[in-house]
Chain A
Amino acid sequence: MTLARKGHWTTLVGLVLLGGVYVRAVVFTPVERLQGPAQKIFYLHVPAAVWTELAMVLVGVASVVFLFLKDPRLDRFAEASAEVGTVFAAIVLTTGPIWGKTVWGTWWAWDARLTSTLFLFFLYIGYLLLRGAVVDAGARARYAAVLGICGMALVPFIHLSVYLFRTLHPQPIILKPSAPSLPQSMLVTWLLSFAVFTVLYVGFVMQRYALGRAREEGDRA
């Protein structure tokens, strides 16, 4: 089975499992008393946010190693991870304001967490535009690697921004030094959702990687 086909099946499994997460979150997970049903946006928003950041970390790590080894597979992986990260960032930046409108009373606030996440999204877009704009493959990979490393450097700042600044955005309730502060049933739903987003990330990256490889082979032919 080719990598693209494996990616298709992995993505399909991920999408079906996402349907299962929807059912569990909406029907079988309790409603939070203060925020109401809108709190259930948490089960999509946070896993997407974690993978938005992890995807950029993986772009950065692949970029650092690429600059040493010059292995085109690393550059191809970084490109794939950046595109998938952009998709997850789009989910974060649409579900966040929908949740914010009902809980905070506003779609958007220019606080550190929201603004730095928007900046990460623009960085992803810039990364993909840069790759599209440079014709020479060697130069494209080098320039993109440098930008990918800059993107990775932004991620810790985004995660810690809620501690460093007074923000409207709440502090983490799962990814923090102490134990997660939410009931067991909610935590299980979140973990299931995170696992499904992981499957989707893997499936998307496999497909996008195969696409990049096919393009390179087409360019060489």
Chain B
Amino acid sequence: MPDVPHNAGYMVAAYVTTALILLAYACSLYRRAAKR
């Protein structure tokens, strides 16, 4: 049976990137609305 690959770093990178993109867009919408 093959060993499970040790690649958790890639998972962490993808999860962090996704969170950053969503948070950045949420902040962008909030700031644009606050300027109105």
Cβ of A22 under 8 Å from chain B: yes
Q: State how many angstroms separate the Cβ of A48 from the closest Cβ of chain B.
A: 7
The reply to whether A36 and B26 form a contact with Cβ atoms under 8 Å apart is no
How many chain A residues have a CB neighbour from B under 8 Å? 39
Tell me which of A37, A99, A207 contacts B29 (CB under 8 A).
A207
Residues of A bordering B, CB below 8 Å: 4, 7-8, 11, 15, 18, 22, 26, 31, 33-38, 40-41, 44-45, 48, 84, 87, 90-91, 94-95, 98-99, 101-102, 200, 204, 207-208, 210-211, 214-215, 218
Residues of B bordering A, CB below 8 Å: 1-2, 4-8, 10-11, 13-15, 17-19, 21-23, 25-26, 29-30, 32-33, 36
The reply to whether B2 and A95 form a contact with Cβ atoms under 8 Å apart is no
The reply to whether A87 and B25 form a contact with Cβ atoms under 8 Å apart is yes
B7: A residues at CB distance < 8 A: 35-38, 102
For the residues of A in contact with B, the DSSP-based class is helix
Known: A8-B30, A41-B14, A102-B7. A33 touches B2 (CB 8 A): yes
With A91-B18, A98-B10 known, 8 other A-B pairs at CB within 8 A are: A18-B22, A22-B15, A26-B15, A41-B10, A94-B17, A211-B32, A214-B36, A218-B36
Q: State how many angstroms separate the Cβ of A37 from the closest Cβ of chain B.
A: 4
Tell me the bound Cα distance from A22 to B4 in angstroms.
Answer: 21
Determine the residue in chain B with the shortest Cβ distance to A45.
Answer: B14
Q: List 25 A-B contacts (CB under 8 A).
A: A15-B22, A18-B19, A26-B11, A36-B6, A36-B8, A37-B5, A40-B11, A41-B14, A44-B15, A44-B18, A84-B25, A87-B25, A90-B21, A91-B17, A91-B18, A94-B14, A94-B21, A95-B17, A101-B10, A102-B5, A204-B26, A207-B29, A207-B33, A211-B29, A211-B32
